Amino acid sequence: RASQAAQARGWHLYLVGGAVRDLLLENDPSNQLMLHDIDLVVDGFHQSADVGAGVELARELQQIYQNSRLEIHGAFQTAALLWHKDPELDCLWVDIATARTEFYPYPAANPEVEASSIRQDLYRRDFTINAMALRLTSPHGGELLDFFGGLIDLRSRKIRVLHPNSFIEDPTRIYRGVRFAIRFGFAIEQRTAEYIHYAINSGVYDRTVQENIKTPALHTRLKAELKLILQAPYWQSALKLLDQLGALQCIHYTCNLNYGILRELVLLEKLLKIQDRFWQPAQQLPPTWLIRLEILISSLEPEYRSKVAENLQLSETSVNRLKKLEAAQVEINRELATCELASVIFNLLQKYDSGTLMLMAVKSSREIRRKIWYYWRDLVHVQPLLKGDDLKKMGYKPGPIFKQILDHLLIATLDGKIKTRTQAIELLT
Ligand code: ATP
């Protein structure tokens, strides 16, 4: 229907980007074809289509497919049709754009966009394997447009960038390249690797870190790429490759994957595996990709951590966690090192959220880790043996005293001094 509608207006319609790549990789066991994210591009027959063509086509399709939802993104004149109520969940997502070209006013800036031909539209893309188009309209429907050797690179399993300045224009392409390389088992082609080194050595990323006011969209994209990488099953290999390429410097110029961080990341995996058995819903951990990212950020000097987290637009909770981590570590190491009393461990650790405790667990000595674990497994569930109603029945008048009594009972229970309600009542009388 989309191609008929485009054709009726004298436009060509193309399937572009990842969907074409994945269709061509269909027989490749390393790739599971999942067409849930489809990019379509509209172009004129003899000259560029009007800049609003993609949006116009999307509006017409929405009339035909009324169970879809239309979203229009004004800045780049693109439209999306969604076939699911919740875009975070698995859904069919069709982006429709007018063929366009991009200009970067300065390195790592947000691109400025204008309408152009399908060839130029493909040339603005990241890698040859992502820069092919399949024509959906007649004449020549089904024709593959491959101006930059994408098919050869797909067959020879190479990630090749389209032009030398690509990574300077947009550093997130390094992360994308690594993600595709590891996901498909492709190699980063030699020149492409050189362009990455050149871009990193040029220092452009110091700017991206410092000038977050001018490049918030870049940081949004960087965070999105980090999230995709850190939640993928291949996250470890991807991080190692990013490190080899020096690309972790895009997060901060001092960021790298040293032995200590690797150890913490591996420890996190172990702790997460056994976590299910002990977890309380009230102590929901942050998502795993975020803990991994926070481990990476917390390996930086304390003064850089919260700034980096803010630049990456992490939540306020994350930023605060990273800001206070140093002090928390000092306190926990000092107080827990010599203490075995359950109530003291409980009182100390209950001040911290589960994300902080997990960071502490992977960063501390075995002894401290054991105590954090003891808190999660045995102490966090403990309740005072009596309730407010029991106290009323015993003749206490409701008020601040209730809390003091219940806290007192909780401490006695934690420390094993009382085990039953009768013992609790005896203690109070
Ligand atoms: P995935 O299967 O991971 O979704 P994809 O290639 O479909 O892969 P998208 O992020 O949906 O990834 O991007 C769609 C297309 O847009 C890409 O195939 C590529 O052509 C282009 N693209 C996306 N991000 C960039 C970028 N940072 N620079 C240049 N082109 C990009």
Longest Cα–Cα distance of the chain, Å, equals: 94
pLDDT tens, 16-60? 999 999 999 976 555 555 557 899 999 876 666 677 888 889 999
pLDDT of res. 76: 62
Q: Is 292 helix (H, G, I), strand (E, B) or coil?
A: helix
Per residue in 145-200, pLDDT (tens digit) is 999 999 999 999 999 999 999 999 888 999 999 999 999 999 999 999 999 999 99
Distance separating alpha carbons of residues 171 and 274, to the nearest angstrom = 37
Nearest ligand 1 atom to the CA of 122 is: 20
Most confident by average pLDDT, 72-76, 134-138, 175-179, 244-248: 175-179
CA of 411 to the centre of ligand 1 (A): 56
**CA 178 to ligand 1 centroid distance, Å:** 13
Q: Which stretch of 32-41, 75-84, 125-134, 241-250 has the lowest confidence by average pLDDT?
A: 32-41
What is the distance in A from the centroid of ligand 1 to the CA of 41? Answer: 13
pLDDT at 215 over 80: no
Using CA positions, which residue lies closest to atom 24 of ligand 1?
126
Residue 217 CB-half CA count within 13 A? 10
User: Does ligand 1 have an atom closer than 6 angstroms to the CB of 125?
Assistant: yes
pTM of the model: 0.87
- What is the reported pLDDT for 205? 65
Q: How far is the CA of 71 from the centre of ligand 1 (A)?
A: 19
C-alpha dist (Å) from residue 26 to 34, 184, 411: 10, 12, 62
- According to the model, what pLDDT value does residue 397 have? 83
**ipTM of predicted assembly, 2 dp:** 0.98
Q: For residue 161, what is the DSSP state?
A: B
Contact present, 402 and 393 (Cβ < 8 Å): no
The more confident residue out of 206 and 148 is 148
Determine whether the shortest distance from the Cβ of 126 to ligand 1 is under 6 A. yes
Contact 11, 141 (CB under 8 A): no
The pLDDT of residue 115 is above 80: no
In short, whether 100's Cβ falls inside 6 Å of ligand 1 is no
Q: Is residue 304 left, alpha or beta, with left meaning phi > 0 and alpha meaning psi from -120 to 50? A: alpha
Q: Residue 384 pLDDT > 50, yes or no?
A: yes
**Tens-digit pLDDT profile for residues 286-304:** 999 999 999 999 999 999 9
Asked if 324 and 348 touch (Cβ cutoff 8 Å), the reply is no
* Ligand 1 atom with least separation from CA of 183: 3
> Which residues make Cβ contacts (< 8 Å) with residue 131, sequence separation at least 6?
17, 122, 123, 125, 147, 148, 150, 162
Q: What angle do CA 208, 120, 175 make, to 5 degrees?
A: 35
Please, are residues 2 and 40 in contact by the beta-carbon 8 Å criterion?
yes
Q: Per-residue confidence at 405, pLDDT binned at 50, 70, 90? A: confident
169 lines ligand 1 (CB under 6 A): no
Residue 173 in contact with ligand 1 by CB distance below 6 A: yes
Residue ranges of alpha helices (H) inside 105-245 are 118-123, 150-155, 166-169, 172-184, 190-201, 204-210, 216-230, 235-244
- Give the Cα separation of 391 and 409 in Å (integer): 12
Q: What is the pLDDT of residue 213?
A: 45
Task: Match 């394997």 to its residue by tokens.
Answer: 129
Task: Tell me the average pLDDT of the chain.
Answer: 86
39 lines ligand 1 (CB under 6 A): yes
Q: 242-249: list long-range contacts, CB under 8 Å, 24+ apart.
A: 242/174, 242/175, 242/178, 245/174, 245/178, 245/188, 245/193, 245/196, 245/197, 245/200, 246/196, 246/197, 246/200, 246/201, 247/171, 247/174, 247/175, 247/178, 247/196, 247/200, 248/296, 249/200, 249/205
Q: What is residue 226's predicted lDDT score, i.e. its pLDDT? A: 96
Distance CA 331, CA 424 (A): 32
